[in-house]
């Protein structure tokens, strides 16, 4: 039997959806207990309701993959759609936080309400989570995958400040449209625009590319911007440009909307020593190789919430 802590959250008809989710999980799993459910502020946006969050302690014979399928089924049954914004409102969010005593979701380190609920259900993990909760330079929190720290959060903050200063100077007296490429660029986008001194219109675009782990798949647009950009100044905000095809796809699509000017701002340019395709106009870091995790960049949807940026050790 596996002992698991499952995070439960909602901010759309929250009390009802949380109650229904708990009932559905009790029908499928042996629920041993639950933490206090509390109201928490949404991450990344002020224009939505507070979340109702808590955790369940369960026993199950299911393996992790089968349990994830079960949780996804509950989310879908409660109306959660595919491709939802990580920072947007949602009817139900179910995540495996702890598996047989091991913290397997990095958000537990980053979010106080998750930390509290985990300790409430599994007090022996308090020492693991005590202190400033800064992850060590080498850790194994992503399902046995080893990460090595590559860029500290201070490195990232300095780069964001530098880029914000450049953009503010280049667009003084203008109101550009900043297009965030979801999902990964959201933290960078929010931090960057918080320091840009000119007025910016925020828009969001999502291109599906990473189908499996570290290998890119077929590109397709799954979310479009919602404003007219004909004749306007547009800045595409990317977390990382690591294949010229992705950048080309986005650039071609935005060019088809006839903007007055079009530039790319990337936190990381990882096109390599012999780059092809469009070159970013604003770059935080240039990296030749390696798979990066943290600050919005993920490995199989894990690690986005890490404040530092890590290299995946294969």
Report yes or no: 205 and 179 within 8 Å, Cβ to Cβ: yes
The secondary element (H helix, E strand) that includes residue 20 is helix 14-28
Whether the predicted pLDDT of 207 surpasses 90: no
What is the per-residue pLDDT for 132? 46
Q: Reduced to 3 DSSP states, what percent helix, strand and coil does the chain have, rounded to the nearest 5?
A: 30, 35, 35
Q: What is the pLDDT of residues 224-256, one digit of tens each?
A: 888 888 999 999 999 988 766 777 888 888 999
What is the per-residue pLDDT for 113? 86
The β-bridge partners of 263 are 235
Instruction: Select the more confidently predicted residue: 86 or 188.
Output: 188
Mean pLDDT of the chain: 83
Could you tell me the domains of the chain? 2-133 (3.30.70.560), 153-313 (3.40.50.2020)
Q: What is the pLDDT of residues 163-205, one digit of tens each?
A: 999 999 999 999 999 999 887 888 899 999 999 999 999 998 8
What is the per-residue pLDDT for 55? 95
Report yes or no: 52 and 18 within 8 Å, Cβ to Cβ: yes
What is the per-residue pLDDT for 85? 57
| 133 confidence band (pLDDT: 50, 70, 90) | very low
| 212 confidence band (pLDDT: 50, 70, 90) | very low
Report yes or no: 212 and 233 within 8 Å, Cβ to Cβ: no
The fraction of the chain above a pLDDT of 90, given in percent, is 42
Instruction: Provide the annotated active-site residues.
Output: 242
What is the per-residue pLDDT for 49? 85
CA distance 117 to 101: 14
| 210 confidence band (pLDDT: 50, 70, 90) | very low
What is the per-residue pLDDT for 275? 62
Q: What is the pLDDT of residues 13-57, one digit of tens each?
A: 999 999 999 999 999 999 999 999 999 887 654 577 888 999 999
52 contacts: CB under 8 Å, gap ≥ 6: 9, 10, 11, 14, 15, 18, 37, 38, 39, 40
CA nearest to 312, candidates 152, 303, 42: 303
The fraction of the chain above a pLDDT of 70, given in percent, is 84
| 270 confidence band (pLDDT: 50, 70, 90) | confident
């Amino acid at each position: 039997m596996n002992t698991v802590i499952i995070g439960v959250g909602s901010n759309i008809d929250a009390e009802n959806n949380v109650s229904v989710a708990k009932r559905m999980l009790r029908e499928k799993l042996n629920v041993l207990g639950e933490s206090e459910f509390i109201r928490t502020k949404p991450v990344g946006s002020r224009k939505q309701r507070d979340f109702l969050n808590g955790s369940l302690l369960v026993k199950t014979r299911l393996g992790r993959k089968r349990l994830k399928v079960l949780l996804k089924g509950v989310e879908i049954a409660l109306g959660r759609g595919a491709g939802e914004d990580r920072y947007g409102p949602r009817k139900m969010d179910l995540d495996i936080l702890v598996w047989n005593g091991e913290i397997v979701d990095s958000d537990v380190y980053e979010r106080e309400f998750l930390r509290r609920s985990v300790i409430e259900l599994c007090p022996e993990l308090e020492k693991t989570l005590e202190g400033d909760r800064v992850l060590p330079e080498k850790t194994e929190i992503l399902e046995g995958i080893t990460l090595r720290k590559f860029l500290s959060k201070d490195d990232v903050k300095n780069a964001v400040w530098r880029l914000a200063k450049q953009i503010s100077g280049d667009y003084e007296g203008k109101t550009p449209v900043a297009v965030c490429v979801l999902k990964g660029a959201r933290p960078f986008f929010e931090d960057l625009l918080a320091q840009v001194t000119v007025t910016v219109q925020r828009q969001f675009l999502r291109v599906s590319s990473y189908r499996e782990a570290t290998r890119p798949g077929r590109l397709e647009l799954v979310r479009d911007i919602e404003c007219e950009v004909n004749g306007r100044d547009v800045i595409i905000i990317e977390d990382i440009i690591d294949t010229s095809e992705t950048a080309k796809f986005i650039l071609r699509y935005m060019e088809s909307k006839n903007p007055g000017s079009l530039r790319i701002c990337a936190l990381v340019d990882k096109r390599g020593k012999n780059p092809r395709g469009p070159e970013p106009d604003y770059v935080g870091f240039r990296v030749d190789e390696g798979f990066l995790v943290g600050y919005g960049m993920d490995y199989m949807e894990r690690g986005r919430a890490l404040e530092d940026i890590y290299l995946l050790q294969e």
